[in-house]
Structure 1
Amino acid sequence: MAATEGLTRFSALDPMLPPPAPPALGDRIEVATADGARVAGGVQRHRHGPGDPPLLWSAAEVWQLFPDAGTAGTEGFDLLLGELRSRVDAEAPGSDSACVVNWPSRDAEAIRAFLDHGLAPLSALAVRTEGPPPAPAPGDAAIRVAGPADFDAVLALCTATFDYTGLVAHRRREQTAELLAPALRHALDEPLTWLAEAEGEPVALAQCAWVDSGEGAEAAELLPPGRWGYVNNLVTVAGHRGSGVGRALMARVHRELLGAGATATYLYYNPTNPLSSVFWHRQGYRPLWTSWEAHPATALR
């Protein structure tokens, strides 16, 4: 599809979408619909080794489909997914494998094809440009910036996140703590992680970062231009969920990030997670991109 067609298509789907990226590199596929329209996309293969951090959110062996931006209509996606399955069948994937398509969340015609082919919405990139007023902090919790001395507590809280999401999204890895540790040590050198404490004990954590979405940046394929506050992880320990501590923590985070010049904030959450899917919508976030996946890869119909 021509670049102008892709731009028109994306603009019609969601005004928050950035201009579409050029056609993806990789194994190019092209098919024709019943009325002769040409539909194309790229397929990329990814393999992750035992110590690779992407294993925290990804299968070890991935076939990722990148439909060209102008792709429209259920039939076109149906045909592309059929071609993707043909490529999977030629390589006999193992059990730790997946087929993945990341696509604008509001494209209902594409969703119909994704569901028909056995894909599930396992991750969503959500943005918050406006939201409810900050909640007052609970009387029994104190919020402070975390630093290097808090590494053990932060690692335990972040690991707990994956213990739970391992039930409702990607399967938990046995080496979760080892995969998390290097990035967490680096993150704690910056004042972008906050801890909520009750009676001196950490009960919730928000780990954040800065992401620039400028010309040539990887983030520019997903986000409008700007300096974005990224909420990488939020976790509340089980005994304190529903107490308001998570809302208070995010009120602090939003004040800090927006006060420091963030254009807006974004995050990833699991639509299949019964806790986060409710919490983040109430915080003013809404999905912009959704990652649809079939596990193992042979589950793609």
Structure 2
Amino acid sequence: MTGPYAEVIGDPISHSKSPLIQKFWLRALGIDADYRATHVTPDALPAYFAERKDDPNWRGCNITVPHKVAALAHVEDHEGVRAAIGAINTVIRADHGVLVGTNTDAAGFAAPLSGFDLAGKPVTVIGAGGAARAVLFALTGIGVGPVTLLNRNVEKGAALLSSFGLDGQALPLDGAVPPSALLVNTTSLGMTGQPSLDLDLSALPEHAVVYDIVYAPLETSLLAAARARGLATIDGLEMLIGQAAVAFALFFGAEAPRDRDAELRRILLG
């Protein structure tokens, strides 16, 4: 490929909507560059970064499951992301082929929550992977109250809460959802091709917010259950577009045209 480009990597990767988003913004701004999806398996990750760092046209990549933690081993950590979050979702090719890792997930996750009063309020988080790390980092900045973390491996969940200095408890994935002002699914459960996430939401108060970072499909069983109860919901496109905008500026040196979000959402849903 000739000319500047960036890409998104993962395993699987066919579900990713990142190319649609980034190409929409490139066209809108008249920037002559490309963005693509590339399937990279865990075994191929070291070779992928070794090859890309020598390509002057490569601006960087977004990272999706399962590479958000493993990719840290292949990049410079100029922002202290390893200590602060423990996972990256974006890599930038800096001067002389230096690869620098960062995380735009935290900012993308937090943006849609700005209109809700969550300070000191109890929160429930599902999952303990790379996305959960970004979410917990953002929640510490918001100053939420106790956090209940549901995960298959309870010890991993407890260790993750401790690493962020968050008060709360870790429960198994099938544990009861406690009363919470916010419930967040950070897992791939509910994604196309994955088992659904079926939770009993009856303990959530009527003012609770249910946030599912899955975006394929956009209407997950979790969000459908929340809407059936009349709860406020935030879908995965909110976080996806938010984090993508931060990455776009890093890749291409221009601010994403967020005034066209409504048009972009229609394209993504089509």
**TM above 0.5, one fold?**
no
TM-score, length-scaled by structure 1: 0.24
TM-score, length-scaled by structure 2: 0.26
> Which one has a bigger Cα radius of gyration?
1
> Relative CO higher for 1 or 2, CA cutoff 8 Å, sep ≥ 6?
1
